[in-house]
Chains A and B, each alone.
Chain A
Amino acid sequence: MFRKHLTALTVSAAALGAVTVPAIAQEFEGVTVNILTRPGYVIAGPLAERGVDFEALTGAKIVVTEVPFAEIFPKIQNDWATGTNSIDVGVFAAGWGVELDAAGLLEDLDPYVAADDKIQLDDIAPYFREFGQKVGGKTKLLMVDGDFQMVYYRTDVLSAAGLEPPKTWEDYLDVASKIHGTDMNGDGEADYGSCIFKKRNAQSYFAIQTFAAPIVQTQGTAQGFHFDNATMKPIVNNAGWKKAFELYKATGEFGPPEELNMDIGDTRALFKAGRCGLLVEWGDPGTLQLDDDASAVKGKIFAIAGVGSREVLDRETGELVPVSAESAPYAVDGINYSPFAAFGGWAGAINAKADQKTKDAAYAFLSYMNQPAQSGIDVTIGATGYNPYRISQLSSTEPWVKAGMPAELAENYLGAINSALANPNMSSDMKIPGAQQYTAVVLDTELARYLAGEISVEEALENIEEGWEEITEDFGRDEQIAAQALALGE
């Protein structure tokens, strides 16, 4: 009898053990996944922290290597194309994946996704699921972040000045000029009307596209605002982009004196210290204002999904025309909006040449990061740099309020992102081979030289047009036309 009881007890204990220990426990014992991404805690930090949890669950060791922003893409491309293969996973802009995929360097994740019952793919917002994660119709990346550039304003500063949030870029300049020089944080010092990161070789080239998109793109997302999609001739040397460049430069009059040498970290430090009335940013300020070092602005920085334009580009003539039902069918109250999905969000891709066990572990980790249980928490923490990209994260303010966000701010923040995602004229970031060269090199360099007064706006736009044409020729015009059609979902 006793033996029977003992046997039953042993079997029960074993069964209980099998239930309580996760099925995948130590599945990847001895496997190391090397990840390369940007420097600092933002983006990289949560990968490393979640990596520790993931190692405890599966045995796979997650090693995160950080390199300067401008070196992420070339380092990954170099490593994978030359067969060095020291990197298993790259976490970079969703739009950059297409060039790596064209060279056959990305692992097709569709089979992994099909066998994954935890990823809840349908919960990912359609734009990020179809544009961010897929290349040529196949899932090649998994998002860890969703990105839009938006305009933020200080509610207290604007209401004290009796001003409304800007609706157009002209309004933006007007508001910035009226609040510039006022003390916005009570320290007795004059603060800034506008803060935009304008340093070269950083992220300034995204902000200029945020300015240009509502002036140049009018006929819906598929139209794009960089090229004539039929010929891949740049549509940059025209009155639309010229106006965007001039408006962008004009914001500098109401910005910090060192703005030309400021990257995103510098402007974030400024707005957290309560020194900026308006700013152009990704989704981060929504949550960053909840940090302990941002007590001066907590609950005071509200978002606007898009700032638009009352004039738009007529592509036939290259000149600006007033917004009308024909020139801008998606315009609202005479203003054309085109929220820019700058960068597209940080996403992870797996090296196709990594060994199978490593690829399995790499996918399992990216899926772990992407799953609602983890990502739903990460996006509510400002320091992670992760912005919402799942429907469950965008549909309810509850988790945000639970994370410390005032209810009114949560409504505004999620409302702005949802409104941008729902806009049929939302503009996409470049997603063709050479996207990095087109924007991060040619556009960024010429923009920086124009801002510094080295060249005129006409020269800058001519140089960009010529530089983009050279890149298109190098990659092959027909190939680029096909890639552009695929990217914009034509």
Chain B
Amino acid sequence: MAAYDNMRQPGLVPAGVTRRERLAEWVDRHSGTFFIAPAVTLILIFAIFPTIYSLFFAVSRVRFTGDGLRFRYVGFRNFEKQFFGSSEVHFLGRTDPVSIFGYAVFAALVVAVLFWLWRSRKITTWVGMIGRTISAAMAIFLGWILCASFLSGNSIGTLYTTLFYVIIGCALQFVIGTGLAFLCSQPISGKNFFRVIFFIPLMITPLGVGYAMRMVADVTKGPFEPFLNFVGLSDWVWSADAWSARFMMMVSDSWQWIPFIFICMLAALENIPRDHVEAAQVDGASSFQIFREITWPQVLPVAVTVLLIRMIEAFKIVDLPNIMTGGGPGSATESMTLHSMYIWRANDLGSSAAIAYLLLILTVVVCASFFNYVVLGQIRKARA
């Protein structure tokens, strides 16, 4: 019997085998599919299907009728409106007039990106070139909007407000979170207490953070009111100025998310073998040299991965600006998610879905570019 079993080949059923055994054999051969089927089905139902269904919304005008939703195909009009129609300034910011400085920076950026693309042809495949071309196109587009709006002294739209939260916010959170993690990884007294304290904000619901920060930042009744009076800023109102409001939003977001960076980086720092550090100390290396040559290279793969995860999350910021300022003053603190939410709330489901898709494209291209050109590069470097 054992010999017979060994002779069995996948897909071939010897004569005389019963129907039940054939079924068992078939199930055995497809067991992998059966095991992953529930997960795949759930993903299809809860992730893929809504994504595809929302594409129908993005290319339609949707009306509510007594018989349910009525779709009218409008092509790319919902997208076009964000770039050339009534929502252009809201989404992209004001891009006219463009300053000389703006033109100069944009020209330098285009040259740099094209040079990078030209150099890439030697080190990557044609598939890689497609990816790099997409990244380059996105960089040129974002560069143009930045040069024509912010660098030309014009107001920015929800696109760059989102990128402000992502790029500046995540950088700030990364530096502070890593710094705190480094301090708590040192042999200092009470470090367990600080670990718990630093971690608490991450466990609070974003809505709670929003309301708490709104009270803390209140300039007339908040805890800092005496201080503002003392320094002569009693008439200063952060919520009435675009940049101070954005900055306050970033501070509040950072307060909640620094613990995430902190806890991940602390785990990475504590996993560094002690013998490497001790060997360097024996060799007389300074603390800075030990950090630069031993600690940092070993935590780098974790650091960039944590940063990537945080960036993906940051693209979706919505609770804080909604609670703290309602997206104001004007639309200064409105992220793309909040932009989409406000339009959805007015039952303009088509435009809302279009903005959600634009956010998806932006997130995928920026994060995939960061992963391919930064994360993978650093991981390879660390392995080397």
A residues sitting closer than 8 Å to B (CB atoms) are 70-71, 73-74, 77-78, 81-83, 103-105, 199-202, 257-261, 352, 436-437, 440-442, 445, 448-455, 459, 463, 466-467, 470, 474
Contacts and interface: CB of A to CB of B under 8 A. Distances in A.
Contact of B348 (A70, A437, A448, A454): A437
B68 A441 contact: no
A237 B136 CA distance: 40
Nearest to A469: B86
B310 to A, nearest CB: 28
Contacts of A202: 326
A448 B66 contact: no
A77 B348 contact: no
The 4 closest A-B pairs by CB, nearest first: A452-B330, A104-B66, A452-B329, A81-B64
Contacts of B64: 77-78, 81-82, 103
Contact of B240 (A71, A201, A258, A436): A258
A451 B343 contact: no
A219 B169 CA distance: 54
A437 B346 contact: yes
Given A105-B66, A452-B242, A257 B235 contact: yes
A103 B69 CA distance: 10
Contact of A261 (B85, B90, B240): B240
Contact of A200 (B81, B327, B345): B327
Given A260-B329, A261-B329, A459-B89, A441 B69 contact: no
A102 to B, nearest CB: 9
B320 interface: no
Interface of B: 61, 63-66, 68-69, 81, 85-86, 89-90, 94, 155, 219-220, 235-237, 239-240, 242, 325-332, 342-348
A175 B64 CA distance: 47
A52 B155 CA distance: 52
Given A105-B66, A200-B327, A257 B240 contact: yes
Given A78-B64, A81-B68, A258 B328 contact: no
A448 B331 contact: yes
29 contacts: A74-B344, A81-B69, A82-B69, A103-B64, A103-B65, A103-B66, A199-B328, A200-B327, A201-B342, A258-B237, A260-B239, A260-B240, A261-B239, A261-B325, A261-B329, A437-B347, A441-B348, A442-B86, A445-B342, A449-B331, A450-B330, A452-B331, A452-B332, A453-B330, A454-B94, A454-B155, A466-B85, A470-B81, A470-B85
Contacts, number: 119
Contacts of A436: 346-347
A24 B373 CA distance: 75
Contacts of A455: 89, 94, 155, 330
B215 to A, nearest CB: 13
Contact of A466 (B86, B239, B327, B347): B86
B89 A74 contact: no
Nearest to B156: A454
A454 B345 contact: no
Nearest to B64: A81
Contacts of A449: 89-90, 330-331
The majority secondary structure among interface residues of chain A is helix
A200 B330 contact: yes
A346 B349 CA distance: 26
A474 B343 CA distance: 15
Contacts of A200: 326-331
A454 B332 contact: yes
A450 to B, nearest CB: 8
Given A200-B327, A200-B328, A459-B89, A77 B347 contact: yes
Nearest to A468: B86
Contacts of A352: 66
A467 B343 CA distance: 13
Contacts of A467: 86
A441 B85 CA distance: 15
A105 B347 CA distance: 16
A454 B65 contact: no
Contacts of A73: 347
Contacts of A453: 242, 329-330
Nearest to A475: B63
Contact of B342 (A78, A81, A441): A441
A453 B330 CA distance: 8
A81 B344 CA distance: 15
A467 B239 CA distance: 27
Most B-side CB within 10 Å, residue of A78, A440, A452: A452
A259 B329 CA distance: 10
Contacts of A452: 240, 242, 328-332
B94 A448 contact: no
Nearest to A352: B66
B327 A104 contact: no
A97 to B, nearest CB: 14
Contacts of A440: 346
B346 A201 contact: no
Contacts of A257: 219, 235-237, 240
A455 B95 CA distance: 12
A467 B88 CA distance: 11
Nearest to A68: B345
A397 B44 CA distance: 66
A268 to B, nearest CB: 16
Given A78-B64, A200-B327, A441-B343, 13 more contacts: A70-B342, A74-B345, A81-B66, A103-B65, A200-B329, A257-B237, A258-B219, A258-B239, A261-B240, A261-B325, A445-B90, A449-B90, A454-B331
A251 B237 CA distance: 17
A125 B337 CA distance: 44
Given A201-B342, A261-B325, A440-B346, A454 B240 contact: no
Nearest to A106: B66
Contacts of B81: 470
Nearest to B322: A201
Nearest to A442: B86
Contacts of A83: 68
Contacts of B89: 449, 455, 459, 463
A448 B90 CA distance: 11
Contact of B220 (A77, A201, A258, A260): A258
A201 B343 contact: no
Nearest to A105: B66
Contacts of B332: 452, 454
A276 B219 CA distance: 19
B350 to A, nearest CB: 9
Most B-side CB within 10 Å, residue of A74, A104, A454: A454
A105 B66 CA distance: 6
B50 to A, nearest CB: 15
Contacts of A81: 64-66, 68-69
Contact of B68 (A82, A199, A445, A463): A82
Contacts of B237: 257-258, 261
A352 B155 CA distance: 47
A74 to B, nearest CB: 5
Most B-side CB within 10 Å, residue of A352, A451, A470: A470
B65 A104 contact: yes
B347 A78 contact: yes
A77 to B, nearest CB: 5
A71 B347 contact: no
Contacts of A103: 63-66
